[in-house]
Amino acid sequence: MREIAASSVTEAVRELCIEANTRLPQEHLSALRRALADEESPLGREVIERLLENAEVARERCIAFCQDTGYAVFFVELGSEVRITGGEIGAAIDEGVRRGYEEGYLRKSIVRSPIDRTNTGDNTPAVVYYEPAPEDILKLTMLVKGAGCDNMSALKMLTPAEGLPAMKRFVVETIERAGPNASPPLTVGVGIGGPFEKAAMLAKRALTRPSGEPNPDPELAVLERELLDEINATGIGPAGYGGTQTALAVHIESFPTHIAAFPVAVNLDCHSHRTASAEL
């Protein structure tokens, strides 16, 4: 058994909250720079230039580059040989979020319930998904999820007969419907397969993949590229002002499904695509 103190988890989470909200990942910055080179609309290029400049200012001053510092979503890969001591892991993560959002001058955006809309005051609870992992691994991957783009996400239960063409159509339609609201250029997470909720989970998990890294399955990698081209042909462009760079990357994750089913979920992430991870 490998023992990890709950306080170490709290500290790692605190750091992740601040890092993810103030420093855009290098792969994402590279994707933005490629988009700047490829964008044909002058106004679109100006938008991307401002985004890059903003990212630099935020990094230098250690401030949030987007005021919507979102839901604090964590994927926790927890090995069977790991034991958390001195506290429960969920509480340790919440404490890290509480400290990170306070000390990092990050906005508290979580309300107690959709009906009782009182702010919880510290951005907790974190949204935590546990994933079984081999042996002594404990890896925390944070996704800061803004609401503007999450609100434009969608799920559809297609039939097997409708198949792949309908899946592609649904992804593009979701982005067309979101238009400027989801803050393009987007990172697009697509989940296919499983029952209803599995597709949504896969779509969210797909967003944590390093920006533009293709799916290891060559067929899915081709599909990712085809979808990216179709999305960029919509003309929505940076900030929705029109242009050729509507998405930076499409990440698809797939899971086995039922003989009667073809679920597809699309989770959109805005141009402030925020992920960070830590291994303890």
- Contact residues toward other proteins (CB under 8 A) are 40-44, 46-47, 50-51, 53-54, 57-58, 61, 63-69, 105-109, 117, 119, 121, 148, 151, 179-181, 183, 233-237, 239-244, 270-272
- Give the pair of three-digit tokens for residue 112: 């107690």
Q: State the minimum distance, in angstroms, from the CB of residue 20 to other proteins.
A: 14
Give SS3 for 37.
Answer: helix
Mention every residue, 6+ apart, whose C-beta is less than 8 A from residue 12: 96, 140, 278, 280
**C-beta of 52 vs 201, nearer to other proteins:** 52
- Give the pair of three-digit tokens for residue 79: 């090995």
- Give the pair of three-digit tokens for residue 219: 């067929």
Mention every residue, 6+ apart, whose C-beta is less than 8 A from residue 80: 132, 133, 134, 135
**C-beta of 181 vs 257, nearer to other proteins:** 181
**C-beta of 40 vs 131, nearer to other proteins:** 40
- Give the pair of three-digit tokens for residue 277: 């991870």
Q: State the minimum distance, in angstroms, from the CB of residue 6 to other proteins.
A: 27
Q: State the minimum distance, in angstroms, from the CB of residue 50 to other proteins.
A: 5
- Residue 23 vs residues 76, 185, 209: alpha-carbon distances, Å: 21, 18, 17
**C-beta of 233 vs 279, nearer to other proteins:** 233
Q: State the minimum distance, in angstroms, from the CB of residue 100 to other proteins.
A: 13
